[in-house]
Each structure stands twice: as structure tokens, then as C-alpha cells.
Amino acid sequence: MDGSRRFETRDMTRIVAFAAILAVLGIPGAIPIGGSVPITAQTLGVMLAGAVLGAWRGAAAVVIFLVLVLAGLPLLSGGRGGAGVFAGPSAGYLIGWIFGAFVVGAIVRVGGRPPVWWRTAVGCFVGGALVVYAIGIPVQSAVTGLGLWETITTSAAFLPGDLLKVVAATVITMALWRAYPRAFGNPTRLRRAAS
Amino acid sequence: MISLYRPGDSLLHRLPAGPKLLVVMALALGVSLAPADPWTLTGAALAVAACYLLAGLGAVEIARQAYKLRWLVLVMVVSQVFFLPALTMAANVVRVVVVILLANLVTLTTRTEQVVDAIERALTPLRRLGVNPSRVALMLSMTITTIPVIAGFATQIREAQRARGVPAAPLAFVVPLLIMALKHSDDLADALTARGID
């Protein structure tokens, strides 16, 4: 809760829970979406991991998830997995998730504070979209051999979907904060940080 | 949990996971940096195909793995066809396909547990930075067992909402999923503490 890097048992199982949630969000049809908005729910999971668990634990949940993908479990959306995805064009986005979750947590939970809606929205946008692009696009450009600027142009297609995810992550985080504040850590410590 | 591993008894299956991953990473880097020369890339593609045969995976498996990459190839061709000359584009596509097939060869010939063990060993030097390798390994195996539990929660929530006629909406679905998952994680923490893992 205080940004310390030593994880207690409760932190460990929360990291495990979020790593598993990331996997479940990749199961096709796991999230019922009204209409036909193309949402890969796993980026939403990355934003939520950072916002709920905070920087270090959020990033740890993403690392655990990605290690299992590397180890050969087909946990990415569309049943992808294995070492091959870390050699393909989307490798940078996957690594970007780790730093993305960290930045989301660092902004949303700055100083161990509970979430407020505007900080959650800014954090999810900067961490979940900008940071992921900043690492993903150069790697994609290097792997595919397409120029950096052309890659940026083709990646712009994902921006509307990511903005939707920022909105969804913010709404979900604030709803979770009202419904189950314990999710965000020790209640007394949270109250102290908020005041 | 169905792994992408294919059981077998070839030389590639018997190699230890850690060195195998390192060798493949080095080879992948080599292919990625290789010049866009048709002969080099044809050679690399044939070498990877030979490795698949050596692993006892056969032409059908190579075709299946390559077919999985059809969307990637399509996207690469569509996004590059206007920007790059045809030969460079073809070289880029072949290079990416070869590297992915090579990396997938590790996954096809290595058990999930072997990779997890290799990662636990690789983390040992990080002990000084406060990383506890056995805790990381515990978290990895707990995640594998937790995924079906949380997938079960998802089914439960969906069915309950369908029974009540709630229209499909991500918010009404994800919030209860998060609460159930986090409550489950607290139970898991209590169970671990009760067994002296702290």
C-alpha cells in the first residue's frame, strides 16, 4: 500500500487474482458488449490492474500474466500464446502493458491515495494508452520494417477503441471504489492518505 | 488449462528449457537483423522447417502454425504495400513469419512447468534486489489454478444476469467479477497464512 516492493501474502494473492482476470478477459465472449464495438478487453484489464492494485503490484500482475503466456499457455485474446507472440509485431505492446500498468497505478494511486475520477481517467489514458503506444509502436516498426511514421498512422485506428476503454476503466474503478473499497487496500491507511 | 505443448521425445523436447529459449532468442535476433536477401531468408525458412521435422512435428504442423499467422501476414501486406517496394515487403513478411515459427517451436516442444522452472532459476541472481524466486513460482502456479475459478465466476455472473434479463453491458459484468475475484484472493491469502506461507 505504501509503494513498498516487498509483497505480503494478501498482495501476492491479489496480484494472482488480477493476472487471472487478465486471462479471463481474453476469453472470447467473456465480456458482453452491447453493439459491435471492437474491444480487446485485456488492455482494459491492464488499466484496472494499475488503478486497483497500484503501480508495483499492478505491474507485477501483468508480468505474471505475460510469463504464463511465454510459458506456452494460450491466454492472449484469440487464444494466442507461446514464445512466438514475443517475437511478433505486437511484442512491444505486451511489454508496454507492464510499464503501462505501472504508470496507471502511479498516477491513480499517487502517494497511496484512493482513486478519484479525474485522476483515474488521466492515469488510464497516459498509462494504458500513451505508454503502451510509446513502447509498442517503435517495436512494431522495427519488427515489420515499416517506417515509424507509417506505423503511427496505421496504429491511429486503435485510438477510438482505447479512448472507450479509458472511459470504461474509469467508470468501473469508481464503481468498484463505491461498492468494495477494501479492494484498494487497507481501509484505515486509505482514509489517512485521503485526508 | 490446455497448453500449446505437443508431447514428444525428440532431441528438441529433451533440451533444457532455459538454454533452448536463449538459443532461439539469439537466432531470432539474427534473422531479424539479416539482410533482405532472398537466398538468406529462404535458407532461414528451410532451416526452421528442418527443425520442425527434427522435433517430429511434420509438414502438417508447420502448415497449421503458418496458417495461424494469416491475419498477421494480411495486415503486414496491406499496411506496407503502398509504402515499400515489393521485394522489401516480401522480405519483411518472411522474416517475421520465420522468427515467429522459430519461437513457437520452443513452445511446442517445452512443457509449461519447464519454462516456469527455468524462469525461477533465472531469477535467482535477483534475490539481492528483493525478488524471491520461490514466491514468484508460487504465484505463477497459483495463477494457473485461479484462472478456471475466475472464468467460473464470469459464467456464473453472465447466467445470473441472463436469468434476470439484464441487458449485456461491460460495467454490470466487470464490477461483480472484480469483487468476486478479489474476495476469492483474500480467502486464498487466509488459506496461505493458515498454512504458514507468509
Q: Is residue B5 part of a domain?
A: no
pLDDT band at A36 (very low <50, low <70, confident <90, very high): very low
Chain A residues with CB under 8 Å of B95 CB are: 145
Chain B touched by A83 (CB under 8 Å) = yes
Whether pLDDT at A195 is above 70: no
Whether pLDDT at B122 is above 50: yes
Chain B residues with CB under 8 Å of A87 CB are: 28, 99-100, 102-103
Domain-ending residue, one of B104, B122, B140? B122
Claim to verify: residue B118 and residue B137 sit in the same structural domain? no
Chain A touched by B77 (CB under 8 Å) = no
pLDDT band at A75 (very low <50, low <70, confident <90, very high): confident
Whether pLDDT at B25 is above 70: yes
Claim to verify: residue B40 and residue B118 sit in the same structural domain? yes
Higher-confidence residue of A50 and B30: namely A50
Chain B residues with CB under 8 Å of A66 CB are: none
Average pLDDT over residues B146-151: 92
CB A120 within 8 A of CB A105: no
Q: Which domain holds residue B138?
A: 128-194
* Distance between CA atoms of residues A15 and A53, nearest Å: 8
Domain-ending residue, one of B122, B144, B173? B122
Claim to verify: residue B146 and residue B170 sit in the same structural domain? yes
Chain B residues with CB under 8 Å of A21 CB are: 150, 177-178, 181
Claim to verify: residue B18 and residue B100 sit in the same structural domain? yes
Predicted pLDDT of residue B177: 93
Claim to verify: residue B100 and residue B25 sit in the same structural domain? yes
Claim to verify: residue B77 and residue B132 sit in the same structural domain? no
Whether pLDDT at A34 is above 60: no
pLDDT band at A194 (very low <50, low <70, confident <90, very high): low
Q: Is residue B136 part of a domain?
A: yes
Predicted pLDDT of residue B161: 87
Chain A residues with CB under 8 Å of B5 CB are: 72
Claim to verify: residue B101 and residue B139 sit in the same structural domain? no
Claim to verify: residue B118 and residue B140 sit in the same structural domain? no
Mutation target vs B (from A4, A16, A56; most B CBs, 10 A cutoff): A16
> Of B72, B179, B198, which has the smallest distance from its Cβ to A88's Cβ?
B72
| Domain edges within chain A | 9-194
Average pLDDT over residues A6-10: 76
Average pLDDT over residues B78-93: 82
Q: What average pLDDT does chain B have?
A: 86
For A77-134, the pLDDT digits (tens) are 877 888 888 888 889 999 999 999 999 999 999 888 888 999 999 999 999 999 999 9
Q: Which fold has domain A9-194?
A: Arp2/3 complex 21 kDa subunit ARPC3 (1.10.1760)
Chain B touched by A130 (CB under 8 Å) = no
Higher-confidence residue of A9 and A173: namely A173
Q: Is residue B150 part of a domain?
A: yes
Chain-chain contact of B149 with A20 (C-beta, under 8 angstroms): yes
Claim to verify: residue B78 and residue B41 sit in the same structural domain? yes
Predicted pLDDT of residue A37: 38
What percent of chain B lies above the pLDDT cut of 90?
19
Chain-chain contact of A72 with B5 (C-beta, under 8 angstroms): yes
Chain B residues with CB under 8 Å of A187 CB are: none
Q: What is the pTM of this model?
A: 0.86
Number of CB pairs < 8 Å for A and B?
209
Chain B touched by A164 (CB under 8 Å) = no
What phi and psi values does residue A80 have, to the nearest 5 degrees? -85, 155
